[in-house]
Amino acid sequence: MKALLRWLGLCVLALAALQLYFVLRIATMAVVAPQSTTFQRSEAWRIANETGTLRWRQQWVDYAQISNNLKRAVIASEDDGFSSHDGVDWDALEKAWEKNAKAEQRAAARKPETRMTQGKPVPVARPPKIVGGSTITQQLAKNLFLSGERTLVRKGQEFVLTLLLERLLSKQRILEIYLNSVEWGEGVFGAEAAAQHYFRKPASQLNAFEAARLAVMLPRPRYFEKLPNSAYLSGRAAVITARMGDAQLP
């Protein structure tokens, strides 16, 4: 019994030490820009293993050097309540749960497709399309510190990190770090690298439609990088451009 209690005590101490580490790292980010994120390092490692070269384009620029068009476009596309919520948009999260539940029901009721394997048709279930309800702060928390696995423990840690980011950093700083670190293509990270990669101009000079196109790419940047003339990309960018005027900047 004593051994079990000692083990549980060590686990609690380790968990507390980990949270203290996160607190110190996030507090430091109030004045020091993070050099890289967990997501960036894992992507750099993946690309290096697949291609044999290290592909990493990123250049930090201050908040004032990022076009307000891009800030508004990203908020309008990813998190229209960013400036007012506490890090978690509970309404959006509830709607995402409902949509995903319905998608799973449709997937279960759908007749499975077949694929020929060794000359025989094998049923293949098409996975349901999962809709996310994460805010910009939640996305930043995940990219900064966490792996891409989907578990309750990782999701719980994401919520803790989200609350820490909201308490220790200003909304403006959160958005600044997010825009400087988010993925915009294969090895392309941050607004400056994205603006140069796609439009051959600095992030400060992006016009409304260019900014909207970048914002629409965010959920699937590597996919849209290969389809720059996608009809969906242009159509959705037009919708986001029309909504940008209502986006509230921090």
CATH superfamily of 18-88+135-246: Biosynthetic peptidoglycan transglycosylase-like (1.10.3810.10)
- Cβ atoms of 74 and 136 closer than 8 Å: yes
pLDDT tens-digit series, residues 56-76: 999 999 999 999 999 999 999
Length of the chain: 250
Q: What is d(CA 227, CA 100) in angstroms, rounded to the nearest whole number?
A: 26
| 16-30, 140-154, 179-193 — most confident range | 179-193
pLDDT tens-digit series, residues 159-183: 999 999 999 999 999 999 999 999 9
Residue 93 structure tokens: 């999260």
pLDDT at site 118: 57
Tell me which H or E stretch contains 114.
strand 113-117
pTM summary value: 0.84
pLDDT tens-digit series, residues 114-150: 565 556 555 544 444 444 568 999 999 999 998 777 7
**pLDDT surpassing 80 at residue 46:** yes
Q: What is d(CA 60, CA 66) in angstroms, rounded to the nearest whole number?
A: 10
Largest CA distance in the chain: 66
Percent over 70 (pLDDT), the chain = 82
| Residues carrying CATH 1.10.3810.10, the chain | 18-88+135-246
**Which residue's entry shows tokens 């098409």?**
126
C-alpha pair distances (Å), 19 with each of 41, 56, 58, 69: 21, 29, 28, 36
Where are the strands (E) in the chain, listed by range? 113-117, 120-124, 183-185, 188-189
Mutual orientation of helices 171-181 and 136-145 as an angle, nearest 10°? 60
- Cβ atoms of 240 and 76 closer than 8 Å: yes
